[in-house]
Structure 1
Amino acid sequence: MLRDGRRRWGSRLAEAGVESPDSDVTLLLCHVLDTSPGRLVLVDDLSDDQVAEMERLVAQRAERVPLQHLTGRAFFRHVELEVGPGVFVPRPETELLAGWAVEACAELAEPVVLDLCTGSGAIARAVADEVPTARVHAVELDPDAHRWAERNLAGTGVDLRLGDMATAFDDLLGTVDVVVCNPPYIPFEAWESVAVEARDHDPHLALFSGQDGLDAMRTLERRAAELLRPGGVVGAEHADVQGESAPGVFVSTGRWSDVRDHRDLAGRARFVTARLAR
C-alpha cells in the first residue's frame, strides 16, 4: 500500500535528520509518478519499478543529497528551474528579495535590472517573467553554475554573461535602475554550522565570503555604486545574524540613502536595500 510506503520512507528521512521528511517524500513521489501533490490522492499503489525508484531516491535523500538534485528542478516564485550538482539551489527566502526587485521596477517604463551572482538564474528569471518590459542582465562567475543559468534563461531575453561581478558590465555603468544580488555571505569559521545539503553539495564559491562573511557584500557595494544611475536601488540577501553589519557596509561609505533591512516571513533579518544618493 502506498500509505505504508510513505510512512516508512518518511520515518527513514526523519531518522536521517531531514528537516521536512513527509514533504520530501511527497515531492519524490510526484517526481517518480510525474504528477502533482494534489493528484497523489488518486494513487493507490506503486508498481515494482516505481517502488524500486523510490527506495533509491529515499536512500540518497537520507544521505542528505539535496531534494532538488534528485528531482532536477526547483520552484522559485512563478517559475520552474533546472538545478543539479554545480549550482546553488535557490531557497524560498530569496523569493522575497526577488519580489522586492519586481516591486522596484513597478514605476519604471523599461527598467534596467542587473542580477549579480545569478547562480541558477533564479532572480533574473523571476524578474523577466514578472516584468516583461524590463531589460534584465545577469552574470555568474562559476562556469558550472553558468551552464545551469544558460538552461534556465534560454528564451527569456535575459543578457547572461560569464564573469566577475566586480568587473562585469562596464557597458552599463551609470545606467542601471535596479541591482539585485544573492551573494555568498557565510564566514569561513561557520563551516560546521552549515546544513549538510549546502556544505556538501552547493558550490563553496556561492556560500563562503571571508572571515566575517561580508567580503562579497563590500564588492557589491562598490560595484553597485558604479553601475546604478543616481537614485537607482540595490538589494542583497545576507545571513540572519548580519542584520546590522550588512546595512553597515552601505552606511559606512556615505554613498547611499534609504538604507534599510528587511525581515523574512519568520521574522529573521534577510536582505538589505539602499538607494544611490543623487
Structure 2
Amino acid sequence: MTARQLRREAAERLRAAGVASPERDADELLAHVLGLGLGRLALVDGVTEEQGAAYDALLDRRAAREPLQHLLGTAVFRHVELAVGPGVFVPRPETELLAGWAVDRAREAGRHHRTCRVVDLCTGSGAIARAVKDEVPSADVHAVELDPGAHRWAERNLAGTGVELRLGDMATAFADLAGTVDVLTCNPPYVPLEAWESVAPEARDHDPHLALFSGDDGLDALRVLAERAAVLLRPGGWVGVEHADVQGQSAPRLFAATGRYEQVRDHRDLAGRPRYLTARLAR
C-alpha cells in the first residue's frame, strides 16, 4: 500500500469514528510516526512494517477519541509549542484570541515606557502565560494553577521563560500583587454540569473535570473571577476571560452587575461565536 492510500484509508477510519478533522489528524499522526514535517508527507512513497504497526496503534487510540495532542505529546499555541498529556487541559485554538488580546494590552503598556504586569489565573498548561511572555519578553508575567497534575505540566512549559508560576486557588492567589496588575487573563472552567453529554469525548473523557465544569449554569468560576480580578487589578487595569459560546450575554452581564467594571465587551471567535469578554476596572 502506498503512503497516499494509507493516509486515505486512515482518514476514512477516523471519519467513521466521528473525529472532526480526519484528514488532518491522519496526516499529523503519520508525520509523527515518520518523524517528518507535514509538508514532506507528499514525498513519502511507502512505510515499513514497523512504521505501519505504530501508525495503526495510534489510529486505534485516535478513533477511540483520545485527543490528538496527547498522542503527539505537544500542542501548538500561537508561536509556541507546549507539552501536553493526561492530566492537563489541551489548549484550544479559540483561546489564542484571548492570548492575542493580552499581548496587545501588554504591548500598549510597553509603548508608554513601563513594564506591564500580567497575571494568568487557571493557567492549566501555561499556554496564555507562555504566549504573552514569548511575544512581549519585557512583560512581568505570573500564573497560578490549582490542580497539582496540571501544575506539573505548566512547570515544564514555563521553565526558563521567566514566568513566575504558583500552585494555588485563583480565589486567593497573588495577594502580594493586589492592586498592581495591568492585565489579568483567565480561561476558567465554564461548562454547566447539565451539559455533560454535549461535551466532545476528547474533552469529557480526557481533560480534567476541574478544568471543564463550573456549577449548574457554568458561571460559578466566573463569579469568583469577577471578585478576584477587582482585587488584583490596578484602577484602569484590564481583565479578559474566555467563556462558553452560550454565555455571550450572561458572562458580560455578570461582570457589569458588580458595578466595578467599565467597557465590558464581548468578543467572537473566528467562527462568529461568542468566545471571551474583556472589561476594565473602574478608575
TM-score range with shorter-chain normalisation?
A: over 0.9
SS in 2 for 1:35: coil
Instruction: Give the aligned partner of residue 70 of structure 1.
Output: 71
Gap regions ≥5 residues in structure 2 = none
> Structure 1, residues 170-221: CA drift from partner, whole Å, max 9, x if none?
1100000000000000000000000000000000000000010000001110
Instruction: Give the aligned partner of residue 53 of structure 1.
Output: 54
Distance apart, 1:51 and its partner CA? 0.4
Q: TM-score, length-normalised on structure 2?
A: 0.97
2:257 to 252, 258, 275: 252
Instruction: Give the aligned partner of residue 23 of structure 1.
Output: 24
Code of the residue aligned with 2:107 in structure 1: it is: A
Instruction: Give the aligned partner of residue 86 of structure 1.
Output: 87
In the alignment, is residue 240 of structure 1 matched against residue 245 of structure 2?
A: yes
Instruction: Give the aligned partner of residue 269 of structure 1.
Output: 274
Code of the residue aligned with 2:169 in structure 1: it is: D
Distance 2:32 2:155 in 1: 23
Aligned pairs for 1:176-191 within 5 A: 176-191=181-196
Distance apart, 1:85 and its partner CA? 0.2
Distance 2:158 2:268 in 1: 28
Distance 2:56 2:230 in 1: 51
Instruction: Give the aligned partner of residue 223 of structure 2.
Output: 218
Q: Percent identity?
A: 71
SS in 1 for 2:107: coil
Q: TM-score, length-normalised on structure 1?
A: 0.99
Distance 1:224 1:122 in 2: 19
Distance 1:35 1:114 in 2: 37
Distance apart, 1:29 and its partner CA? 1.1
Distance apart, 1:36 and its partner CA? 1.0
Distance 1:34 1:237 in 2: 35
Distance apart, 1:97 and its partner CA? 0.3
Aligned pairs for 1:141-156 within 5 A: 141-156=146-161
Instruction: Give the aligned partner of residue 104 of structure 2.
Output: 103
Distance 2:34 2:187 in 1: 33
Post-superposition, which runs of at least 4 consecutive aligned residues in structure 1 deviate over 2 A?
A: none
Code of the residue aligned with 1:189 in structure 2: it is: E
In the alignment, is residue 38 of structure 1 matched against residue 39 of structure 2?
A: yes
Code of the residue aligned with 1:267 in structure 2: it is: G
In the alignment, is residue 170 of structure 1 matched against residue 175 of structure 2?
A: yes
RMSD: 0.5
Code of the residue aligned with 2:155 in structure 1: it is: E
Instruction: Give the aligned partner of residue 3 of structure 1.
Output: 4
Code of the residue aligned with 1:123 in structure 2: it is: I
SS in 2 for 1:233: strand
Distance 1:273 1:124 in 2: 17
Distance apart, 1:155 and its partner CA? 0.4
Number of equivalences: 278
